[in-house]
Amino acid sequence: MGSDVSLSKAVRANLLSLQNTAGMMDKTQNRLATGNKVNSALDNPSSFFTASALNSRAADMSNLLNSMASGIKVIEAANNGITALTKNLESMQSTLRQARQDKSFQTKSFEVNDNTKINLGGGQFGIEDADISLATATVAGQKAQITTQATTAYLGPQSGTGTATGAGARSVISGLGGLGSNDVFTVAGRTVTLGAGAQTSATIKTAIEGALAGHASTAGKYTVSEGTGDNAGQIIIETVDTSAPAAAITFGAGSTAATKGSTTFNFSAITSSVTAGGQPIPTGATFEDFVANLEAGAEDGNYTVTKDATTKQITLTSTQWGGAAPTVTGVPVNAPADPGTPAQTEFTLGLYNDGGTRKVSADQDLTIAGATGLVSLTRGMTGADVKAALEADTNINSLYTVAVDATTLEVTLTEKANNGLAAPTVTSSKAAATPASLGGTGGVDYTTATDGDFSAFNGSVITLDDGNGNTSTYTFTNAAAGQAAALATALGTNGFTLTASATGLAISRADGKNFTIATTGGINGSMGLGTATTTTTNGVEAGLSGAPTLTPGDADVPAVDGQTITPAQAGASVATIAAEEATFTVSYGGKTAEISIGGVKGGVGSAVNALDIKNWQDATVAAVNADLEAAGIADVEAKFDADGKFQLIAKTAEAKTLAVSGADATALFGTNGVNTGVAEKSQLNATKTVDKFVELINRDHAGKVRASNDNGKLRIENLSTQDLDIGVDLNGNDAVTALKIDGNTVRANLSKQFNELRDQLDKLGDDASFNGINLLRGDKLKITFNESGTSSIDIQAKDANGNVRGINASNLGVDSLIAEDLDTDEKIDAFLTKLSSALTELRSQASAFGSNLSSVENRQSFTKNMINTLETGAANLTLADTNEEAANLLALQTRQQLSSSALSMASQQDQAVLQLLR
C-alpha cells in the first residue's frame, strides 16, 4: 500500500539506502548468532541439501559405532572365557600328570607252595577272575581256524538248470519262438542250422550240441541244457572252463532276434511334471540336470538312458529283450505326419462242423514269430477260444489286434501301432488236411426235417464206401420210431460209426480213413451237401489250411520333438552272465582282505574228475593266499583238508581273532565265522616256588598286578584304583583264605578333582557373554560396517573344518573320568593327549577371535575418520567466517550512521521552505 506522504527525491533515496543497510545488518547479525552462513534452503539450496546429506550419513555411521563398540566387548568377553578355559585345561593336565607320577600302589605278601592255587578278582581284572597255579603255567597254543560247514567237499559255486548263474560263464537264449524251421545262427563261431518244422527247446538244444561237438575248437568246451524253474523256456550254454568267456551268439537267416522297446523325445518337449517307467523325474534347471535325474531312476524304472548333448534328444530303452517301451508321461506323443500301413498276417485253421458250430479239428502248437512261446490249441476250440488263446500271449496282445472268423476260423493279426514291424510268420505242428472235416466227430451230420422224423427221406438211398471196395447201403422206407436204430445196424459195418439222436444222425469212421457218401432221392437237400457224392475226411489231424498271408507294415512318420515310441520286436535274445564267484571278507590282526572263489570246471550236469578237482584246489589256494598277503595278512593261509573242505588257518598260535563276513560267508562257513586262537605259554625258567609264581604272574598278568619275592613270600602289588580280591588255596585242597588289597586312593581322588575341573569348563563357557551374546555357546555375532548394510562380518565359534559349534567339554573331546581310567600310565597318557588337542583347539579359536577383533577395531577407526570427514565437508558448505562477518557488521554500522546523517541533511533542506513561510 503506497504512502499518502510525498517525500522529496533526496529523502527517499537516503531512506532506501538506510533500509538496505538495516537488512544487511540483520543478516550479518544472524550469521554471527548461528555461526552458519547457510541456515536454510533459501540461503543456498545446493550447499544446504548437500550439507544435510553429509550430516545424515555421518549420523548413521555414528550409530554403527555403537554396534561396533558393543561387538568388540562381545569378542573380548569370549576371549576372556577362552583364557579361563585354557587355564582350567592346564590345571586338568597338571592333575593327570600328578596322577601319573603317583605310584602309591598297595601290596600284600603271603606264603605259597607248589600246590597253591591263587584267584585274582576285582582291580583291573573286573568280573573276569584269573586263576593261577603252577600246574597251568604251560599251555599248548591253538591256531585260529575256520572251515566250510558242508559235510561234503567244497567245489566252489555249482551250476544247475534252474540257477540264475553257474560256475562257468553263460549265454542264455530266451524267446525260442523266434527260432523256427531251417533257421540259422552261430554259437561260439559254429553255425547251427535248425531242422524243418516247428522247433522246441529240445530240438534247438540238440542242434547246438551237434554244431559245437562237430568242431575241435568247441568240442567239450561248453555244456548245453534246457532251463528249468525260473529258466524254463531258455537254452543255457555254459563254459566248462570257469575262466573262459561266454559263447558269442549271432542270429542269422530266418531267425527273429528280439529288440528292446524304446521311447525317444527332445528335452524341449518336457513339461513341469515327468514320469519315466513309473518313477517321478524332477525336470531340473538344465538338460544335464534332467538327464542325471533320469539316470538316477533308471534302475527302478527298468530302462537305460542315451543322450545327444548337441540336439538334446533323449532315448529311454527297456532293459528287457522284447520288453515294452518305457512309459513316459509329461511329454506329448507324436501324431504321425504320414500314417503308415499296419503289418498283418492271415491264416486259416483246420475245422469241423459240430452241430452248426465250426471248431478246431486237431490239437496243435502254433509257432508265431515274436510270441513269448508256443500257442497251444486243442481240438474242439471255437473261434472265440482261439482268439482268447492268442491274446493270452503277452507279446502278441501288446503288438497286434487279434480277429478270428467264427465260420471259417480265419485268424488275422494286425499291428496295433504303425511302426513298420514285419508281419509275424506262423507255422503249425500239424499238417493240413485236404479237404477239411465237415461235421460231427470228424464226419457228416444229417439233419432231419423234424426231430426224430425221417419221413422226408422215404425212398432215398444212402451208400457208404470205405475206399477199399467195402460198401454199406440203406434205403429209407418209413418214419417208424425204430428207423434210426435200424439205420445204425445196417450201416454199422465196415468200420463206420453212426450216432442217431432226436435231432439227427452223425456218420464217422474211428480209423481216420476217408470215405465216400453216395445218396439218391430227397436226402440230398436234407443233408445240405449240395451234390450227390461227397468225400469227407474223418479223424485226420489238420493244422493250417494253406500258407499264411503276410503283409509288412509301413511305419508312421513322427513329429520332430515329441515322444516317439518304438515297440519291442519279440523274438530270440541272448543274455550273457558272468561266472559265479563266492565272495567274503577275511579279518585278522586288524587287517581285512576281500576274497573271491570260482567253481571247479565241468559245466551243467557234467561229472567232475579228480584231476580237475586237484587242479582247482591248487589254483584256489594260491589265489586266496595271494589276496591275503596283498592285504597284509601274511599270518593266515588257505588250505583244503583231507575231506576236501576249504579252511582258513592262522600260521601261528596266538590270541588273535580270525573272522569271515560278507555276501557268502554264512552260506559257506555257517554261523561259526569267528574263531580266536590261544597263545602258547612256555615252560617257566625259575626254580624256586615263589620265583615261579612271580614269573608266571608277571608273564600272564603284567600291567594288572605286579608280583615280587618278599623274603620267601609272594608279594602282589595292586596296580589299580579298585580293590583287588585274592583267594589263596595254599595246599590246593579248597581251603581258601580271602585277602584284599586296597586300590590307589591318590589316583582315585585325583580323578574326582579332574571331573570337578571338567565341570568348570562348561560353566566358564556359559558365563562368557556380553549383552546376551555368548560366542562360546555358538551364538552368532553380526556387526554391520556401513549404513546400507552391504558390508558386515559374522563371528561364530567354529571347528577346524569350519563347522559351527559351541566350546564346551564335550565338543573339545574332554570326557569325565572314573577312577579305573587312572589305573595305568597308558590310559593317563591317552587323556593327556586329548587335553593337548583341546588346548590346541582353544588356541586356534582364540586366534580366530583375535583376527575378528582386529578387523572390527580397524573398521571402527575407519568409521570415526569417515564421520569426521563428512562433518567437516558439511561445515565447509554452511559455516560462517565470524571474523569476516564481524568486519561486515562494523562497516554496515558505519554506513548506517552515515545514511542517518544524510537523511537528516536532506530533511533540513525541506525545512528551509518553512523559513520562507514565516
State the Cα–Cα distance between residues 125 and 705, nearest whole angstrom. 9
Q: What is the mean pLDDT of the segment spanning 771-784? A: 86
Q: What is the mean pLDDT of the segment spanning 726-750? A: 92
> Do residues 562 and 383 make contact, with C-beta atoms less than 8 angstroms apart?
no
Cell numbers 445240405: residue:
528
- Looking at mean pLDDT, say which of 161-165, 308-312, 591-595 comes out highest: 591-595
8 or 110, which is more confident: 110
Task: Give the pLDDT of residue 550.
Answer: 81
Task: Give the pLDDT of residue 882.
Answer: 66
Q: What is the mean pLDDT of the segment spanning 703-713? A: 92
Q: Kindly report the length of the chain.
A: 918
Exposure letters 178-192 (e unless 16+ CB within 10 A, then b): bbbeebebebbebeb
- Band (913; pLDDT cuts 50, 70, 90): low
Task: Give the pLDDT of residue 624.
Answer: 96
Cell numbers describing residue 708: 615280587
State the Cα–Cα distance between residues 589 and 634, nearest whole angstrom. 10
The rounded percent of the chain whose pLDDT value lies above 90 is 30
> Do residues 730 and 112 make contact, with C-beta atoms less than 8 angstroms apart?
yes
Q: Is the pLDDT of residue 534 over 50?
A: no
State the Cα–Cα distance between residues 803 and 780, nearest whole angstrom. 13
Task: Give the pLDDT of residue 3.
Answer: 57
Helix, strand, coil shares, percent, the chain, to 5: 35, 25, 40
Integer angstrom CA distances of residue 26 from 35, 885, 889, 892: 14, 11, 9, 10
Q: What is the DSSP letter of 156?
A: S
> If we measure between CA atoms, which residue out of 826, 844, 815, 836 comes closest to residue 757?
815
- Band (181; pLDDT cuts 50, 70, 90): confident
Task: Give the pLDDT of residue 356.
Answer: 65
State the Cα–Cα distance between residues 655 and 807, nearest whole angstrom. 42
> Do residues 102 and 744 make contact, with C-beta atoms less than 8 angstroms apart?
yes
Cell numbers describing residue 510: 474211428
Question: Largest Cα–Cα distance in the chain?
Answer: 195
Question: Which pLDDT tens digit goes with each residue over 59-69?
Answer: 878 888 888 88
Phi/psi at 344 (5° precision) = -150, 140
State the Cα–Cα distance between residues 377 and 544, nearest whole angstrom. 12
Using DSSP, state whether 462 is helix, strand or coil: strand
Q: At what angle do helices 825-878 and 45-101 cross, to 10 degrees?
A: 170
Task: Give the pLDDT of residue 7.
Answer: 63
Q: What is the DSSP letter of 176?
A: G
State the Cα–Cα distance between residues 171 and 224, nearest whole angstrom. 10
Residue 128: CB atoms within 10 Å: 7
Task: Give the pLDDT of residue 142.
Answer: 86
- Looking at mean pLDDT, say which of 128-142, 214-228, 809-823 comes out highest: 214-228
Cell numbers describing residue 40: 536454510
State the Cα–Cα distance between residues 275 and 771, nearest whole angstrom. 55
Q: What is the mean pLDDT of the segment spanning 94-100? A: 91
Task: Give the pLDDT of residue 522.
Answer: 54
Cell numbers describing residue 157: 559255486
- Identify any residues that bridge with 413 across adjacent strands, giving them in sequence order: 345, 402
- Looking at mean pLDDT, say which of 368-377, 579-588, 692-701 comes out highest: 579-588
Exposure letters 867-888 (e unless 16+ CB within 10 A, then b): beebbeebeebbbbeeeebeeb
Rg (CA), the chain: 56
State the Cα–Cα distance between residues 369 and 176, nearest whole angstrom. 9
Q: Is the pLDDT of residue 700 over 50?
A: yes
State the Cα–Cα distance between residues 254 and 180, nearest whole angstrom. 7
Task: Give the pLDDT of residue 619.
Answer: 94
Question: Which pLDDT tens digit goes with each residue over 41-79?
Answer: 666 677 777 777 777 777 878 888 888 888 888 888 889
Q: Is the pLDDT of residue 167 over 80?
A: yes
> Do residues 395 and 371 make contact, with C-beta atoms less than 8 angstroms apart?
yes
Cell numbers 577407526: residue:
861
Task: Give the pLDDT of residue 539.
Answer: 43
State the Cα–Cα distance between residues 682 and 388, nearest whole angstrom. 84
Exposure letters 696-734 (e unless 16+ CB within 10 A, then b): bbeeebeebbbbbeeeeebbbbbbbbbebbbebbbeeee
| Strand 351-354 to 426-428 pairing | unpaired
> Do residues 568 and 322 make contact, with C-beta atoms less than 8 angstroms apart?
yes
Task: Give the pLDDT of residue 535.
Answer: 45
> Do residues 601 and 240 make contact, with C-beta atoms less than 8 angstroms apart?
yes
For every residue of 776-803, which 3-state class applies, written as one string? Answer: HHCCCEEEECCCCCCCEEEECCECCCCC
Q: Is the dihedral of CA 242, 244, 245, 250 positive or negative?
A: negative
Asked which of 261-265, 742-746, 884-888 is least confident by mean pLDDT, the reply is 884-888
- Looking at mean pLDDT, say which of 456-470, 558-572, 809-823 comes out highest: 809-823
Task: Give the pLDDT of residue 324.
Answer: 84
908 or 400, which is more confident: 400
- Band (436; pLDDT cuts 50, 70, 90): very low
Integer angstrom CA distances of residue 438 from 61, 434, 536, 538: 112, 11, 6, 8
Q: What is the mean pLDDT of the segment spanning 506-517? A: 60
- Band (302; pLDDT cuts 50, 70, 90): very high
- Band (305; pLDDT cuts 50, 70, 90): very high
Asked which of 192-206, 220-234, 515-529 is least confident by mean pLDDT, the reply is 515-529
Q: Is the pLDDT of residue 484 over 50?
A: yes
Residue 446: CB atoms within 10 Å: 24
Cell numbers describing residue 504: 439227427
Asked which of 231-240, 307-316, 878-887 is least confident by mean pLDDT, the reply is 878-887
Task: Give the pLDDT of residue 506.
Answer: 61
Q: Is the pLDDT of residue 572 over 80?
A: yes
Q: Degrees (nearest 5) of the Cα angle 32, 34, 38?
A: 95
DSSP code string of 570-617: PSBEEEEEPPPEEEEEEEETTEEEEEEEEPPS--TT----HHHHHHHH
State the Cα–Cα distance between residues 670 and 151, nearest whole angstrom. 12
**How does the average pLDDT of the chain come out, rounded?**
81
> Do residues 704 and 124 make contact, with C-beta atoms less than 8 angstroms apart?
yes
- Band (385; pLDDT cuts 50, 70, 90): very high
Integer angstrom CA distances of residue 766 from 269, 376, 769: 59, 84, 7
State the Cα–Cα distance between residues 396 and 369, nearest whole angstrom. 9
Task: Give the pLDDT of residue 434.
Answer: 42
> If we measure between CA atoms, which residue out of 110, 125, 135 comes closest to residue 736?
110
> Do residues 401 and 386 make contact, with C-beta atoms less than 8 angstroms apart?
no
880 or 622, which is more confident: 622
Integer angstrom CA distances of residue 197 from 365, 367, 375, 426: 11, 10, 15, 11
Question: Which pLDDT tens digit goes with each residue over 663-678?
Answer: 999 999 998 899 998 8
How many CA atoms, within 13 angstroms, populate the side-chain half-sphere of residue 655?
Answer: 5
> Do residues 304 and 316 make contact, with C-beta atoms less than 8 angstroms apart?
yes
List Cβ neighbours of 71 (8 Å cut-off, separation of 6 or more): 781, 783, 795, 856
Q: Is the pLDDT of residue 341 over 70?
A: yes
State the Cα–Cα distance between residues 623 and 615, nearest whole angstrom. 12
> Do residues 750 and 98 make contact, with C-beta atoms less than 8 angstroms apart?
yes
Q: What is the mean pLDDT of the segment spanning 331-356? A: 75
Cell numbers describing residue 880: 560462517
List Cβ neighbours of 621 (8 Å cut-off, separation of 6 or more): 638, 639, 640
Prior bond of 424 cis (ω within 30°): no
Task: Give the pLDDT of residue 169.
Answer: 94
State the Cα–Cα distance between residues 26 and 44, nearest whole angstrom. 17
> Do residues 585 and 661 make contact, with C-beta atoms less than 8 angstroms apart?
yes
Task: Give the pLDDT of residue 533.
Answer: 43
> If we measure between CA atoms, which residue out of 371, 400, 424 comes closest to residue 550?
424
Task: Give the pLDDT of residue 526.
Answer: 43
Residue type, 69: A
Q: Is the dihedral of CA 453, 459, 460, 463 positive or negative?
A: positive
> Do residues 356 and 438 make contact, with C-beta atoms less than 8 angstroms apart?
no
Cell numbers 512261446: residue:
373
State the Cα–Cα distance between residues 464 and 419, nearest whole angstrom. 55
Task: Give the pLDDT of residue 655.
Answer: 84
Q: What is the DSSP letter of 541?
A: -
